[in-house]
Chains A and B, each alone.
Chain A
């Protein structure tokens, strides 16, 4: 009954309802859009972090993370691989890597970088380098002298495909190991810093150069989604002896990224709140107006013995209807905009030099997360009802005399 009345009431003054709905719709739209964009930026951090040779879980020899030298390699890969086979679900992937600091030089330039020995086939889909080769070719398993380097390194060294790069590092005997590689492929990464930092060779070539027989410096595991990492890491820790192995999840490996995630949660909520306040003025105003123009009606109802509580409920129900309609339309508009942006993104390429300084990517893609959508809607409903308590209480307090006195 009350619902019915409330519904009719909000359409008594269509113009007014449309105006307040517009305000709610724009507010909700703004919440969803900016929320999704911020989430997009945060997500980019996570994805970049995980794809930049991190994965969801990494296994190292104890001590490697503190001191990433080649002596701290895992010399018994079988032990690890049996553990992986026992723990991982069928759709998870893993790969082996050799990772060592090296000096790359050609005739005119020289610079420090990280030399990564990979298994090209397994690496695909785990780290960015699987799909990032844009010039030349990717590594083939067992490639003896091929190296894949970043575009920015190519530019820095003024070199090109098929040219030589001499890599120098320390082998397991702490002796200098050096070897020439031919630039077989060029990769592009989200960040210039990444392109300058990593050079890839086949794992066999890296082992040959560093006199590692079958040792591995790092295992990287990728699951279908981020959440599977914790429990799997727990089980791996049970199996692999802790005095020899260290199992880390992406949250341990990327503390910055996890901090950024929490920071963005906070930003997004703050944004919702600010937008709501701006929107709230409209809601209060509208409901007050709606209440005042029906002052005689409320006065009469009270004179007839209607309880103030019921009047409050009536006004709040009306607000709720307005909010719900506004939310539905607003959500739809927001989602439509996000959908429209989802494959275009917002391109900040012109400013990408600065973006790298901030550790961000070049194009922002909005991302809708259920929890953001939910909290936006909850914020609007809860705060919306809260602020319209003022007009509602006002309406409930009209005395019949006062109400009748008004024209």
Chain B
């Protein structure tokens, strides 16, 4: 409960189409490029989320829409028990909707560090998903080659005043801006958790890691797996989709 998780889950609804023709580049461009690669005007996706624990495992299906870096809305479509539960994010504010009671609740600050839907992502991971560009300074720590493609290791150090809890992030980014892994360190530079992207396939007209896995550093038995089922990129989505009313209706 006290462990804080962060970014990138939200990348599955942050998408855009800037083709990645990359030569040698600096770290800032690389990060900016990969964020832009996933982010865009708008996107729509269907994801299966599996929460794995030593004693149990559970999977739910989520449908999500994103627009720009500020707005997103998503709703659970399966299992039937949870169907219709939704979350709306506007900026750093979040609302939660439950169809059974037909209520929208705004998450107070005290809940932001809690797990989102019991997963290894916290509400903060969603709310502050897009801050890596501005809140960190980046440098390239290494380059390697794999399958004919360059893979850059980027060390990202948070700026002193930035409201991020991490001491450092390490990202492995392929030259075509696909993020292969993202590691989160505390201030002692000890690994806290790690997210990996696997099974890079064509989705919605572009290469995309179909499997995302967020895992705690200490154990291999506790993780959350995101599996993209569908992904489409859009030019725009209507304002009306990112409202409290839409949050209620989107799951119906």
Chain A residues within 8 Å of B, Cβ to Cβ:
102-103, 105-112, 144-145, 159, 163-164, 166-170, 175-176, 178-180, 182
22 contacts between A and B (CB under 8 A): A102-B109, A105-B4, A105-B113, A105-B165, A106-B165, A107-B4, A107-B186, A107-B187, A108-B4, A108-B192, A109-B3, A109-B4, A110-B2, A163-B187, A164-B187, A168-B113, A170-B108, A175-B92, A175-B93, A176-B109, A179-B161, A180-B160
Please indicate the chain B residues that have their CB under 8 angstroms from the CB of A107 in the complex: 4, 165-167, 184-187, 192
Secondary structure at the B interface, as helix, strand, loop or mixed, is loop
Q: Are B92 and A178 in contact (CB under 8 A)?
A: yes
B110 at the interface (CB under 8 A from A): yes
B112 at the interface (CB under 8 A from A): yes
Q: Are A169 and B113 in contact (CB under 8 A)?
A: no
B143 at the interface (CB under 8 A from A): no
Q: Mark B92-128, 1 if CB is under 8 A from A, else 0.
A: 1100000000000000111011000000000000010
State the Cβ distance, A199 to closest chain B Cβ, in Å. Answer: 14
How big is the B interface, by class?
Answer: 20 to 34
A100 to B51 alpha-carbon distance, docked (Å): 35
Given A103-B112, A110-B4, A175-B92, A166:B160 Cβ within 8 A? no
State the Cβ distance, B132 to closest chain A Cβ, in Å. Answer: 15
State the Cβ distance, A105 to closest chain B Cβ, in Å. Answer: 5
Given A103-B110, A106-B186, A107-B185, A145:B192 Cβ within 8 A? no
B205 at the interface (CB under 8 A from A): no
Please indicate the chain B residues that have their CB under 8 angstroms from the CB of A167 in the complex: 163
B112 nearest CB neighbor, chain A only: A168
- Checking A111, A145, A159 against B2 with a beta-carbon cut-off of 8 angstroms, the contacting residue is A111
B202 at the interface (CB under 8 A from A): no
Known pairs A159-B187, A180-B163. 9 more at Cβ < 8 A? A105-B113, A106-B4, A107-B4, A107-B166, A109-B3, A110-B2, A112-B110, A144-B161, A164-B167
Chain B residues within 8 Å of A, Cβ to Cβ:
2-4, 91-93, 108-110, 112-113, 127, 158, 160-167, 184-187, 192
State the Cβ distance, A261 to closest chain B Cβ, in Å. Answer: 35
Q: Are A168 and B109 in contact (CB under 8 A)?
A: yes
- Checking B93, B160, B165, B185 against A145 with a beta-carbon cut-off of 8 angstroms, the contacting residue is B160
Please indicate the chain A residues that have their CB under 8 angstroms from the CB of B184 in the complex: 107
State the Cβ distance, B247 to closest chain A Cβ, in Å. Answer: 18
Q: Are A180 and B161 in contact (CB under 8 A)?
A: yes
A107 to B113 alpha-carbon distance, docked (Å): 11
Q: Are A103 and B192 in contact (CB under 8 A)?
A: no
Please indicate the chain A residues that have their CB under 8 angstroms from the CB of B2 in the complex: 108-111
A107 to B167 alpha-carbon distance, docked (Å): 8
5 A-B pairs with the lowest CB-CB distances in the bound complex, closest first: A107-B186, A178-B163, A110-B113, A168-B109, A109-B2
Q: Which of B2, B110, B113, B163: most chain A Cβ within 10 A?
A: B163
State the Cβ distance, A172 to closest chain B Cβ, in Å. Answer: 14
Please indicate the chain B residues that have their CB under 8 angstroms from the CB of A112 in the complex: 110
- Checking A103, A105, A106, A110 against B187 with a beta-carbon cut-off of 8 angstroms, the contacting residue is A106
Given A108-B192, A110-B113, A180:B162 Cβ within 8 A? yes
Q: Are B186 and A108 in contact (CB under 8 A)?
A: yes
Please indicate the chain A residues that have their CB under 8 angstroms from the CB of B163 in the complex: 166-168, 178-180
A107 to B158 alpha-carbon distance, docked (Å): 12
A164 nearest CB neighbor, chain B only: B187
